[in-house]
Amino acid sequence: MSFNSREMDVGVAAAFATLTDPTTYPRWLVGAQAIRDVDATWPKPGSRFHHVVGFGPLKIPDHSEVLEIEPGHLLRLKVKARPFVSAVATFTVVGDDHRCVVSVEEEPTTQMLGPVARVVLDPSIHLRNHRSLARLAAVLESG
């Protein structure tokens, strides 16, 4: 499992609004290439946004689904980039109207690669999420 957090010079409401707006993901989430569609019921549990993820020439269309939401505080997604990735990503936001801490915890749900691969994958996921939170802070703090 990977856990990352970052303090940001924005309020909770602004941070959570960005986390729950999938159209912003290509601007800050490392690997997000494009958003293809967003369900009309987004962000209710069970709703999805359809995306393209990848690096370089490797592009994978798939979707992410809301598992749980606590408005203003928690967004739990089942994220996919099949056949390689299936995970649960939990974003939490705490703070006030001026500063907040955004955390992301990501746990793979498929064990097709086995525990040995986790030794390599977990640090990679940690680094990607660290970079993603830095990019999120830059997007939010730039207005």
What CATH number is associated with residue 88?
3.30.530.20
Compare 108 and 141 and report the one with higher pLDDT: 141
- Both tokens of 131, joined, read 């970079």
Q: Alpha-carbon distance 74 to 116, whole Å?
A: 31
Summarised one tens digit per residue, pLDDT across range 31-55 is 999 999 999 999 999 999 999 988 8
Token pair in block for residue 103: 């955390």
What's the pLDDT score for residue 7?
98
- Give strand pairing partners of 25: none
Residue ranges making up the domain that contains 121: 2-141
As to burial, measured by CB atoms within 10 angstroms (0-12 exposed, 13-18 middle, 19+ buried), residue 56 is exposed
| Amino acid 82: pLDDT | 67
Q: How does pLDDT run across 48-82, given as a tens digit for each residue? A: 999 998 888 888 888 999 999 999 999 999 997 66
Q: Which amino acid is at 118?
A: R
* Measured CA distances, 70 to 26, 49, 92, 99 (Å): 23, 18, 9, 19
pLDDT at 123: 85
pTM of the model: 0.91
Burial class of residue 98 in the structure, from the number of CB atoms within 10 Å of its CB (0-12 exposed, 13-18 middle, 19+ buried): exposed
* Domains held by the chain: number: 1
Tokens 């798939």 sit at which residue?
62
